[in-house]
Amino acid sequence: MTSPLDALGTGKYLLLTTLRRDGTPVSTPVWLVPDTDTLLVITQADSGKVRRIRSNPAVTVAPCDARGRPSGPAVDAVAELLDDAETSRARSLISHRYGLLGRLLMWRGRRTPQIGIRIRPAAAAGRP
């Protein structure tokens, strides 16, 4: 059985849309790496998207370009913040996938705290 996220894992950028407490969507393009039937991303630990995910893990994801312009349909998903060990693994996978630029950004990220995010399809996470 294929995951609704499988096609998204082949792209270079992912448009991650989180929700503010008032329901306003906030979209951000991020790098991603497929991991079995989920997607992994890395972001700064103090970013707005992390605060919004802590408040409401329901997100949507869509393929996009580097500027965040969607290039396909959005998929309902659930985001989970990763612990330090899983974040380190996600950093390594993203660094490997994006080559020199990925290694540079992951190295730079060692000076600012980062956190990994696992994205699962909404149906697999128990949402209707």
Q: Under CATH, domain 8-118 is a member of which superfamily?
A: Electron Transport, Fmn-binding Protein; Chain A (2.30.110.10)
Q: Domain residue spans in the chain? A: 8-118
Write the pLDDT tens digit of every residue in 36-81.
889 999 999 999 999 999 999 999 999 999 999 999 999 999 999 9
Write the pLDDT tens digit of every residue in 6-17.
777 777 899 999
d(C-alpha 22, C-alpha 54), whole Å: 14
pTM: 0.86
Q: Taking CA 124 as the corner, what is the angle to CA 92 and CA 63, rounded to the nearest 5 degrees?
A: 55
Q: Which of 70-74, 92-96, 110-114 has the lowest mean pLDDT?
A: 110-114
d(C-alpha 42, C-alpha 94), whole Å: 8
